[in-house]
Chains A and B, each alone.
Chain A
Amino acid sequence: MKRSDGRAPDELRKMEAKTGVIKRADGSAMFRIGETIAYAAVHGPRELHPKFLQNPEKGLLRCNYNMMAFSGSGERVRPSPNRRSREISLVTEKALEPVLDLTAYPNAVIDIFIELLQTDAGTRCAGICAAAMALADAGIPMKDLVSALSIGYLKNEIILDINGEEDMNEGATDIAFACLPRTGEITLLQIDGEIKKEILLKGLEKAKEAARKIADIQRKALKERYHDKNVA
């Protein structure tokens, strides 16, 4: 099957990654896949307010996903958080938490803010990729990176990294996926649509392979930043 933008089924869109793009943050990154562009900033670990939320045994990871008002494919998106963005914020936290040791930050919070500048499907995945890089950029110890992408199941075929046009297809199944690229452990899995178990498992294996390619790009962007620092 030919895809609308001419890609092979397991071919990802063009990616671009940069770290240290927001100087006031402790860590930051930009991640672009196709036309979807995400910024992420990490503030912390810092003291958690209000105080009653503080936990002396474990720090808190707090994520906020937001689409800029002009970044949607149609009308302006209202700036206040909605049910969709709040759920994405939650699953983003859960996608990232397994690589962190939050017990090292008692009473503290690590805040991650994600802003989408432009969207063409796969926004939560792009946000997670940017956020993982921002965490590493902030110097927070991590077991591994987290790499995320969408998996589509369309006309009896698994396709990776679906774009907005493919997402609009009637009967398409859309899967949001994130994993630790080294071990393949899965930290985000959301399925919208019908799919058989065997096909799903096949899709997950393909996605793990693709996640390693994304991790290469994330890692390269992190190395470039520290290389620059050494020169300066």
Chain B
Amino acid sequence: MTRMLHDHIAALLEKEMREDGRKPLEYRKPVKVEYDISPKSAEGSARVTIGDTIVVAGIKVEVGEPFPDTPSEGNIMVNVELTPLSNPEFELGPPGIEAIELARVVDRALREGSALDTKRLCMKEGEKVWTIIIDLYPINDAGNLFDACSLAAVAALKSAVFPTYDKKTEKIDYQKKTKTPLPLKNLPLEVTVIKINNKFILDPTTEEWKALDARLTTGFLENGTLCAMQKGGPHALTSEDISNMIDIAAEQVAKLRKVL
């Protein structure tokens, strides 16, 4: 089945065509970011729409202990739940490998691209730091969850504020949010390029994602520096492929930044 799907999509791409009428490197429309979609509950939140794909991100800010190797830095955590709501093929249960990879790829860009100034999340060295938890939920999975999750995570970070913290009782009052935004340093954003046969495409549909030979997700800082990468899929890539895929992703990431 997947073989037939692959050959069908590859044959279309030979003619520079795709199932939904797009060109190979054309993103779906609209690409939309809505901020503060859960303002009462979350410290930061956003909903991202890419064509029919919808992902929501929410941020909770907690107080925790630092890791022993970074005693003066706050923590960041990214979690993805592939909700059966968003896709009839997803099943209930703890995150599977698909969700784990996705969460770690989104996490990698934020962490290695220093999205947050983690030193400013330190409350008391070695004892107490702010922990920023980003939870991502697809609402409708029509493909390209990687780019949608990366965009949603960055958007939610942009909208997030600290809750009130009482130093005496050492408790957070989640009902009272401050106006202090999180200490953002960079906005690392990822774009995934798909390879099917010898063709590259952007923003895959669910079917194109299933049929891919290889994929490359690249995270970029605002100045174009790379900060994270993940190669996936069953086939190998040449250096030339990677060079081309980075260029394609860089161009697209600049476009995505405009909707943030």
Contacts and interface: CB of A to CB of B under 8 A. Distances in A.
A11 to B, nearest CB: 20
Given A43-B88, A79-B81, A80-B94, A70 B142 contact: no
Interface string B66-106: 00000000000001010111111000101000000000000
A102 to B, nearest CB: 19
Interface in B134-152: 135, 137, 139-142
Interface in B23-59: 37-43, 45, 52, 54, 56, 58-59
Nearest to A79: B81
B84 to A, nearest CB: 5
B215 to A, nearest CB: 21
A73 B174 contact: yes
Interface stretch (A19-27, A183-191, A221-229): A19-27
Interface of A: prevailing SS: loop
A12 interface: no
Contacts of A64: 84, 92
A118 B135 CA distance: 13
B183 to A, nearest CB: 20
B25 to A, nearest CB: 24
Given A39-B85, A69-B133, A118-B41, A23 B58 contact: no
Contacts of A69: 58, 60, 79, 81, 133, 135
A119 B41 CA distance: 7
A170 to B, nearest CB: 17
Interface residues of A, number: 35
Interface in A46-80: 46, 64, 66, 68-76, 79-80
Given A46-B88, A80-B94, A113-B83, A72 B41 contact: yes
A53 to B, nearest CB: 14
Contact of B41 (A73, A81, A114): A73
A41 B41 contact: no
A107 to B, nearest CB: 17
A120 interface: yes
Given A70-B45, A119-B41, A23 B142 contact: yes
A22 B62 contact: no
Contact of B139 (A21, A26, A35, A119): A21
A66 B58 CA distance: 15
B94 A70 contact: no
B175 interface: yes
Interface in A78-110: 79-81
A22 B86 contact: yes
B interface bracket (residues with beta carbon within 8 Å of A): 35 or more
A115 interface: yes
B86 A24 contact: yes
Contact of B62 (A75, A114, A118): A75
Given A39-B139, A70-B135, A118-B38, A76 B60 contact: yes
Nearest to A44: B88
B159 to A, nearest CB: 12
B85 A115 contact: yes
A35 B137 CA distance: 19
Contact of A24 (B43, B135, B141): B141
Interface centre among A46, A71, A120 (most CB of B within 10 A): A71
A75 B43 CA distance: 10
Contacts of A68: 38, 56, 58, 81, 135, 137
Nearest to B88: A43
Contacts of A118: 37-42
A67 to B, nearest CB: 9
B175 A73 contact: yes
B34 to A, nearest CB: 12
Q: What are the 10 tightest A-B residue pairs by CB atom distance, in nearest-first order?
A: A70-B58, A113-B85, A76-B60, A70-B42, A69-B135, A118-B38, A43-B88, A41-B85, A35-B40, A22-B140
Interface of A: 21-26, 35, 37, 39-41, 43, 46, 64, 66, 68-76, 79-81, 111, 113-115, 117-120
Interface of B: 37-43, 45, 52, 54, 56, 58-60, 62, 79, 81, 83-88, 92, 94, 133, 135, 137, 139-142, 172, 174-175
25 contacts: A21-B139, A22-B139, A23-B140, A24-B87, A26-B88, A37-B38, A68-B135, A69-B58, A69-B60, A69-B135, A70-B60, A70-B133, A70-B135, A73-B175, A74-B174, A75-B62, A75-B172, A76-B60, A76-B62, A79-B79, A113-B83, A115-B85, A117-B37, A118-B38, A119-B41
